[in-house]
């Protein structure tokens, strides 16, 4: 598996949105969110099968998708899949968003 994760554009939008929201509340808080995501991402790339499988009724069986919650910013979770030995970040999913809002992003993985 490659060590460099690839980001779905929607996942980057999720990250920017969270960053902007926290930075607007307190200078530097968006950077702290990003730092926690980077730590969780590095752990997940190193051990991709430790995170819990994500299950949703409208969801294909393949690829296998996993989600890991952040600690400090626990309303966010890193959602990812491994496709053809590539680690794909599908979403930085906020808990208040519709579950599985990012499912259509699976279609663009290759």
In the numeric block, which tokens belong to residue 23? Answer: 């930075």
User: What is the structure's pLDDT at 108?
Assistant: 83
Q: Please check whether residue 17 lies inside any domain of the structure.
A: yes
pLDDT for 36-60, tens place per residue?
Answer: 999 999 999 999 988 988 877 777 6
Tell me the CATH number at 65: 3.30.2310.20
Q: Please check whether residue 109 lies inside any domain of the structure.
A: no
Average pLDDT over residues 88-110: 90
How many domains are there within the chain? 1
Q: Please check whether residue 110 lies inside any domain of the structure.
A: no
Q: Please check whether residue 107 lies inside any domain of the structure.
A: no
Closest CA to 93 of 73, 74, 76: 76
Measured in Å, how far apart are the chain's first and last C-alpha atoms?
A: 14
C-beta of residue 91 within 8 angstroms of C-beta of residue 10: yes
Q: Please check whether residue 90 lies inside any domain of the structure.
A: yes
d(CA 18, CA 37): 11
In the numeric block, which tokens belong to residue 21? Answer: 């929201």
Q: Please check whether residue 69 lies inside any domain of the structure.
A: yes
Confidence grade of residue 1 (pLDDT, cut at 50, 70, 90): low
User: What is the structure's pLDDT at 61?
Assistant: 66
d(CA 84, CA 91): 19
pLDDT for 60-98, tens place per residue?
Answer: 667 889 999 999 999 999 999 999 889 999 999 999 999
Q: Please check whether residue 46 lies inside any domain of the structure.
A: yes
- Asked if pLDDT for residue 3 goes beyond 80, the answer is no
Q: Which domain holds residue 64?
A: 6-99
Q: Please check whether residue 49 lies inside any domain of the structure.
A: yes
């Amino acid at each position: 598996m490659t060590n460099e994760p690839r980001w779905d554009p929607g996942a980057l939008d999720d990250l920017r949105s969270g960053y902007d929201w926290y930075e607007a509340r307190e200078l530097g808080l968006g950077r702290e969110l990003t730092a926690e995501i980077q730590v969780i991402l590095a752990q997940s790339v190193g051990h991709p099968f430790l995170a819990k499988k994500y299950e949703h009724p409208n969801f294909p069986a393949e690829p296998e998708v996993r989600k890991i919650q952040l600690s400090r910013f626990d309303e966010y979770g890193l959602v990812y899949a491994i496709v053809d030995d590539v680690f794909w970040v599908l979403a930085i999913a906020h808990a208040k968003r519709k579950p599985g809002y990012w499912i259509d992003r699976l279609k663009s993985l290759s």
